[in-house]
Structure 1
Amino acid sequence: MKTASLINNIQYHETRPTIQVLLDTENGKEIRIAFKKGQVMKEHKTPFAIVVEIFEGSIDFGVNGKVHNLNRGDLISLSGDVPHDLTAVKDSIVRLSLNKGDSAKRVKDVVKDS
């Protein structure tokens, strides 16, 4: 058994979102992304399907050029190879569920390049 918390030990970076792997199991990875208002993850895609939950705050989630405003409690799922981007409308906590074959490093690289 493994446990984690979406609300404990949150760290915000001043200029870019903060990525933290909360759980890495035999089935997948759960990642917390902490955004300050205005921070962006530029357009990117993943080879695997993902699920994104807005745990706190509000995110403009762009998919193929169309923006979806997602708020606390909203979920969105995407198939692999779908271009998407995120912009924090206000301070936000996002939970990202990754396929086991995907890499947290890939997500961290997207943030570094944003």
Structure 2
Amino acid sequence: MAISHALPLQPIDVQPLGDRLPSEKSVALFKSEDLEVMRMVLLAGKSLPVHQVPGEVTIHCIEGRLDVTAEGASHVLAAGQLLFLPGDLPHGVIALADCSALVTIVLRK
């Protein structure tokens, strides 16, 4: 089954999930030829293993706290903070508290 994505000019709600956060899942919001945007949901203690993508990435913490590790350093994001990662940079993510974040990836051809 194909994932449905937002259409051009269609508003997308990215407000904090609040009490719904523990029951929500990560979801792709849209994907175009050059860009992909996802809402990542991670519960406290859950993580994404070290990985990398060819294009640049931003991680905007909407609620909670998460720790992005890259180049041997820890970068803790609280609600309202955004982190930029260059393309091909290995990084991992762990939720320090239940969190949701907006992840944007530039797609390299």
Of residues 68, 77, 82 in structure 2, which corresponds to 1:75?
82
Q: Does 1:37 align with 2:44?
A: yes
- Segments of 5+ residues of structure 2 without an aligned counterpart are 1-8
Aligned to 1:5: 13
Contact 1:5 1:22 in 2 (8 A): no
Q: Deviations over 1:23-62 (max 9, x none)?
A: 2345522100111110000101110101110010100110
Distance 2:88 2:61 in 1: 21
Distance 1:82 1:100, change over 3 A: closer
Q: Does 1:86 align with 2:89?
A: no
Contact 1:4 1:23 in 2 (8 A): no
Distance 1:3 1:34, change over 3 A: same
TM-score of the aligned structures, taking structure 2 as reference length: 0.78
Aligned to 2:69: 62
Q: Let me know the Cα RMSD of the aligned residues.
A: 2.4
How many corresponding residue pairs? 99
Of residues 73, 94, 105 in structure 2, which corresponds to 1:98?
105
Distance 2:63 2:77 in 1: 10
TM-score of the aligned structures, taking structure 1 as reference length: 0.75
Distance 1:43 1:36 in 2: 17
Distance 2:56 2:69 in 1: 16
Q: What is the percent sequence identity of the aligned residues?
A: 21
Please say which structure displays the higher CA radius of gyration.
2
Distance 1:54 1:20, change over 3 A: same
> Counterpart of 2:43 in structure 1: which amino acid?
K
- Segments of 5+ residues of structure 1 without an aligned counterpart are 103-114
